Amino acid sequence: MFAFNKNKFITLSLLPLVLLATMSHAKEHDSMSQVATLATQIETDVIKWRRHFHQYPELSNREFETAKTIASYLESLGLDVQTGIAKTGVVAILDSGKPGPVVALRADIDGLPVTESVNLPFASKVKSTYNGQDVGVMHACGHDTHIAMLMGAAKILTSMKDKLHGKVKFIFQPAEEGAPEGETGGAEVMVKEGVLSSPDVDVIFGLHISSNKEVGTVHYREGGIMAAVDPFKIVVSGKQSHGAYPWNSVDPIVTSAQIIMGLQTIVSREVKLIDSAAVVTVGMIHGGTRSNIIPDKVELVGTIRTLNPEIRHRIHQSVHNKATSIAKSMNAQATVTLPLDYSYPITYNNEKLMSEMLPVLQATAGTENTLLTNPVTGAEDFSFFQEKVPGLYLFVGGRAKTTPASQAPDHHTPEFEIDESGMKLGVKLLSNLTLNYMNNHH
C-alpha cells in the first residue's frame, strides 16, 4: 500500500525552485567574474581616456570636443548614438534584442574654471572665458574619471550583450557644475528634452569619485545622500539718511544684520538635527556707497542645503517668515526670492532599490569595502533624474592607500588629484549593477 509522505512531497516540490535559485546565483557569479576579467583587460584604456579628458577639459555647455570624442568611441562600439542633447550631451543605446528593463548609466562631462597646480605630464594648460573672466580650466572634480569609467562600462556591456535583457542607455551629461550666466543646462534640461524616454528608463545609476575616500571602497546611503540646493535673495528696503542722523532713517543695514542672525536660528532651533542636517548660509551682502550715508536698500544672497523634503519646505517658509517679520519690526520691508535662479532637488537614493543592489556592491567591492556613508551638504543635479525614476548615486574611492585622509586634496581646488587605480572598481560597479538589475527584472 502506498504511504504518502507529506514532508518528502514538500521537499521534492521545492527542489525545482532551489535548483533555479542555485543556477541563477551561479550565472550571476559567472557574469561578475567575466566583468572583473574584462575590467582588468581594459584598465589601461580607461586610464588613457581619463588622461586625455583631463588634459583637454571644457567648461559647462562648451564640451564640444569632449562630446565628439565620446560619441566617436560609442559609435565604434556599434551603439545607436545621439548628440546635441541639452546642447552638448551624448546619449547611446545598447539594445540586447531581448525583452527587459531599460537601465540608464550617467556620467557628467564638464570641467571647472580652476587653474591646475598639480605637476602631471597630462596636466591641463587650457585657458578659457567664464562669465566674462579669463580663467584656467581643469577637471577639478573628477568628471574626467566619470567619463572614462562609463566608457569602460559601455565596452564591457557591449561585449557581454548576450547576457543582457532589455536596453542600456548611456548618458553623458554636460553642465553638472552649472550653466554660465544667462544659460540653462545640465540634467534638468536633459530631462525636459526627454532623455528618460524613448525608450522609457526604468532605473538609473551614477557614480562620483572621491579624493578623500580610499581606493577600492564604495560608499552608499539610502535616502538623501546629497543635499538639495536652493539659493535665495532678500532685498531689505528702508529709508536713506545722513549717517550722522540715523534717527531720520529706516536703516536696512542694521535690519539686515538682525535678519542674518535670525536666519541662523532656523537650523539651530527649528530643525531636528539628529534626523537630518541642514544649512542656511548668507554668502553675499551688497549695500551702501559711503561710510556716512545710510542707504535705502541692502541685498542679501545665500544658499539653503537640506537632505529631507519636509525640512526643505519648512526652512523655505521660515526664511520668508523670519526676513519679513524682522524687517517689519524695524519699520523696513523685506522681499524674499526663493529659489533665486536655480534649484537642485535632494539626491535621493530609492530605499527599495538600495536594499536590492547592496549585495551587488558587496560582491563587487567586498563587504569590508562597502561602507555606509554620512550624507553631504554638497549638491548634485543627478537628483533631477531621480525625481523621475528610481536611482542610486554612489561614491567611489579615489584616494591612494598611501595618502592619509587628512592630506587628501579637496574637490574644486587647483590641487585636486585622484589615484587612477580607483576607476576599475567604478567600471565594475556600473557593469554589475546593470547586469544584476536586468537579470532580476526581465
Q: What is the pLDDT of residues 39-68, one digit of tens each?
A: 999 999 999 999 999 999 999 999 999 999
Q: Is residue 12 part of a domain?
A: no
Amino acid 215: pLDDT: 98
> Quick check: 279 pLDDT over 70?
yes
Amino acid 384: pLDDT: 98
Q: 112, 140 in Cβ contact below 8 A?
A: yes
pLDDT digits (tens, 9 = 90+) for 94-112: 999 999 999 999 999 999 9
> Does the annotation mark 130 as catalytic?
no
How far is residue 387 from each of residues 282, 355, 377, measured CA to CA in Å?
A: 28, 19, 18
- Residue identified by cell 560597479 is 429
Q: Is residue 41 part of a domain?
A: yes
Q: What's the CATH code of the domain at 165?
A: 3.40.630.10
pLDDT digits (tens, 9 = 90+) for 389-428: 999 999 999 999 999 999 999 999 999 999 999 999 999 9
Q: 360, 25 in Cβ contact below 8 A?
A: no
Amino acid 341: pLDDT: 84
Amino acid 276: pLDDT: 86
pLDDT digits (tens, 9 = 90+) for 239-256: 999 999 999 999 999 999
Encode 358-371: b = buried (16+ Cβ within 10 Å), e = exposed.
Answer: bebbebbbeeebbb
**What's the CA angle centered on 354, arms 49 and 347, to 5 degrees?**
70
Average pLDDT over residues 112-129: 97
Residues 315 and 364 placed together within one structural domain of the fold: no
Residue 169 — very low, low, confident or very high, per pLDDT cuts 50/70/90? Answer: very high
Q: Is residue 9 part of a domain?
A: no
- The residue among 25 and 41 whose pLDDT is bigger is 41
pLDDT digits (tens, 9 = 90+) for 348-387: 999 999 999 999 999 999 999 999 999 999 999 999 999 9
Amino acid 275: pLDDT: 85
> Does the annotation mark 73 as catalytic?
no
Range of the domain at 239: 228-337
Strand partners, 18: none
> Quick check: 12 pLDDT over 80?
no
d(Cα 196, Cα 192) in Å, to the nearest integer?
9
d(Cα 9, Cα 301) in Å, to the nearest integer?
72
Residue 274 — very low, low, confident or very high, per pLDDT cuts 50/70/90? Answer: confident
Model pTM above 0.85: yes
Residues 36 and 120 placed together within one structural domain of the fold: yes
Report the chain's mean pLDDT, rounded to a whole number.
94
Active-site option among 63, 214, 420, 437: 420
Residues 154 and 258 placed together within one structural domain of the fold: no
Residues 328 and 361 placed together within one structural domain of the fold: no
Residues 130 and 192 placed together within one structural domain of the fold: yes
> Quick check: 26 pLDDT over 60?
yes
Active-site option among 344, 348, 393, 437: 344
Residue 10 — very low, low, confident or very high, per pLDDT cuts 50/70/90? Answer: low
Residues 48 and 123 placed together within one structural domain of the fold: yes
Q: What's the CATH code of the domain at 268?
A: 3.30.70.360
Residues 34 and 127 placed together within one structural domain of the fold: yes
Q: Is residue 355 part of a domain?
A: yes
> Quick check: 214 pLDDT over 90?
yes
Residues 436 and 362 placed together within one structural domain of the fold: yes
Q: Is residue 8 part of a domain?
A: no
Relative orientation angle of helices 143-159 and 423-441, to the nearest 10 degrees: 50
Residues 105 and 175 placed together within one structural domain of the fold: yes
Q: Is residue 1 part of a domain?
A: no
